[in-house]
Structure 1
């Protein structure tokens, strides 16, 4: 009975995720345009020598995208509460939206209102509690008052970043501690898979650690990438190899889907994945909360980083040092970050190939499982 209940809940969750997929897809394409075309240092802005100043529009676009993502998550909570509830109380759906809206509202000292995006997991938890507990409250007015109170409590908790952040990977260390880096990468990917970290925003590659800055300074001084002081650092290993296609190295997942002739899904997401925007793919497949795909989603970035580290250690490739255009396709990060080192490009292609090989059997197993259930 418990197994059937879990399957029913999983199916309800997956169906609701499918309903918000078009909105997530639109948001991802708008973010792609914003980061590559509206940004003065954007990839397309630079390679096509676009001199038009879009700074004002870029700022407005950032605000509107945040609002779009917030409304999408509120809509997700509304639909999930409706699909989970066995009672036809229209105010139950509104209660979920009210709780989330109050929880995400921030009023500054100057009385300016800003919004914090709730995590997908938080939306699911609130929707579940409303669907199964609020229906027991006798009067709609009391339910609305209770929703406002719960939203206020969640708001206080969110101010401490309990739900929206995890301990990050420190950028202050000059040398990589592999014993801590591996578990932290796996933890961050697992948190994304669990919906604790939202995958909406693009992955940015920036040189901000002391080791990466020292490497850049040495490269500019000597005009080559030989004898860098810190060849192994978070910039050259973590941000350069762990996000090929977005978090989870999902460019390999796209090619696995292509091998299995999932042409429509690939067509909708391959351009986004090339630039590191994989939120629509994580929602549509879905990867989030999918037990079949958690293993490759967590393991692929680790293997990709090990391939990059091995190539750098054997001096078959050089570590990425140079700052590149904003929104550069993820498969070109290392090639351009090393000013055209072919060994880095080969390492990247090999990492993507290995990710594809990791994802492929799990995708096949899931497809076989779904077909069996349909039969």
Structure 2
């Protein structure tokens, strides 16, 4: 284990010397404040204004709050606009930072503006319609704007470093602009075609994975593990779309369990005790994908670096509502090799604990429908109609996941101690 940790730390240090990776880290840190605001708006909307939100259900806000519909529309629109802006800024800053690291001089933000313009046209073109929610859905995939920004920044820096010194400034400026805009036209067209075509392959792959999971009479533990691991891997790489988000949300077992409950009013003999809801939702995604509630807690208990602790303190309330996106930007966790292993391992162990507890009849499976945006630590408790054993298992999963994250959080602390806040350039 010590050897693995040492190799991982050395690999991260080597990776940091790449301008490409430094540009990504700097971009994530610059965009973190807006992502934090967007996640906060999202939590308010989902808890108070979603038709099945936990606070809306408890207080009947739709009836009791004046102007409920107008407030809901305003908050949802603000939420969508914020996340679209986050994606646009990812394209802008990744191009800017890579250019600055390569050329190390000001360039009037041409690379960032070009990248932002390219990405804006792409999300408008690839959205199924031009309404705000559809554009926001397309913009939720974080990897695409970062790749566009890095490619744009590289091309700008490549041209700049080969600027001829014997040609007059006016001639160079003219040819420079012609080259850039020619590239822009070709680049937009090529990327539009590529993105449109590649959307077909994830959809096909999603259908094949769905067929795999649905084969047989019922979902199995290993099928659920495969689905959730693929989803978490996608989120680690910033690939957030229907394919990764809804990877496992096609099991029909939850409806059968609810139908059984309506007749028998007993959780102990539901037909499908092992499914996505009883394992992943209840025990494997506390704090969001990757058991990030455990990571946030471990950072607050262990990390000495003040910047990392600040991020954890700011986002801890969001983690309670299973919204870990801001933490993934601020630590960062996205594209960070230090957290690749625990991000996949912690949910696996937590679901294993839940599976054993249910299989050994220590706790009933969580089958009751619970309000939307219920804090993750309470999902199993409420889903089992208030079984305190399920709550104890949830707490155990957080503790075990914290132990999984602990050595890797130590690596993060070592890295920042040696290099300062290098992970947040």
1:102 to 121, 125, 149: 121
* More helix as a share of residues: 2
Q: Give unmatched runs, 5+ long, in structure 2.
A: 1-12, 160-174
117-126 or 139-148: bigger deviation: 139-148
Q: CA 1:234–1:77 in structure 2 vs 1: closer, same or farther (change >3 Å)?
A: same
Aligned to 1:218: 260
| Structure ID, larger Rg | 2
Aligned to 2:55: 44
Aligned to 2:139: 117
1:310 to 356, 373, 388: 356
Aligned to 1:256: 298
1:338, CA displacement in angstroms? 1.1
Aligned to 1:153: 190
1:62, CA displacement in angstroms? 2.7
Q: Say if 1:189 and 1:247, in contact at 8 Å, map to a contact too.
A: yes
Q: CA 1:164–1:64 in structure 2 vs 1: closer, same or farther (change >3 Å)?
A: farther
Quick check: 1:298 aligned with 2:315? no
Q: CA RMSD in A?
A: 3.1
How many equivalent residue pairs?
Answer: 371
1:19, CA displacement in angstroms? 0.7
Aligned to 1:367: 413
CA distance, structure 1, for counterparts of residue 70 and residue 234 of structure 2: 34
Q: Say if 2:90 and 2:149, in contact at 8 Å, map to a contact too.
A: no
Q: Say if 1:275 and 1:327, in contact at 8 Å, map to a contact too.
A: yes
Give the SS at the match of 2:139: coil
272-281 or 318-327: bigger deviation: 318-327
Q: CA 1:258–1:135 in structure 2 vs 1: closer, same or farther (change >3 Å)?
A: closer
1:127 to 120, 126, 149: 149
CA distance, structure 2, for counterparts of residue 182 and residue 31 of structure 1: 28
1:271, CA displacement in angstroms? 0.9
Quick check: 1:235 aligned with 2:254? no
1:242, CA displacement in angstroms? 2.1
Aligned to 1:20: 31
Aligned to 2:176: 139
Quick check: 1:177 aligned with 2:223? no
1:142, CA displacement in angstroms? 3.9
Aligned to 1:30: 41
TM-score, length of structure 2 as denominator length: 0.79
265-274 or 8-17: bigger deviation: 8-17
Q: CA 1:70–1:9 in structure 2 vs 1: closer, same or farther (change >3 Å)?
A: same
Q: Say if 1:164 and 1:196, in contact at 8 Å, map to a contact too.
A: no
Q: Say if 1:244 and 1:352, in contact at 8 Å, map to a contact too.
A: yes
1:11, CA displacement in angstroms? 2.8
2:380 to 311, 331, 334: 334
1:347, CA displacement in angstroms? 1.1
Give the SS at the match of 2:80: helix
CA distance, structure 1, for counterparts of residue 17 and residue 226 of structure 2: 29
CA distance, structure 2, for counterparts of residue 10 and residue 188 of structure 1: 23
Q: CA 1:172–1:78 in structure 2 vs 1: closer, same or farther (change >3 Å)?
A: same
Quick check: 1:286 aligned with 2:297? no
Q: Say if 1:119 and 1:196, in contact at 8 Å, map to a contact too.
A: yes
Aligned to 1:270: 316
Q: CA 1:188–1:41 in structure 2 vs 1: closer, same or farther (change >3 Å)?
A: closer
Q: Say if 1:78 and 1:97, in contact at 8 Å, map to a contact too.
A: yes
Q: Say if 2:141 and 2:239, in contact at 8 Å, map to a contact too.
A: yes
Q: How big is each residue's C-alpha offset from its partner over 1:67-110, in whole Å with a ceiling of 9 and x where there is no partner?
A: 22121221122122111112644322221011101110138898
Q: Say if 2:237 and 2:334, in contact at 8 Å, map to a contact too.
A: yes
TM-score, length of structure 1 as denominator length: 0.88
CA distance, structure 2, for counterparts of residue 18 and residue 107 of structure 1: 27
Give the SS at the match of 1:197: coil
1:82 to 96, 99, 104: 96
Map 1:5-16 → 2, pairs under 5 A: 6-16=17-27
1:66, CA displacement in angstroms? 2.1
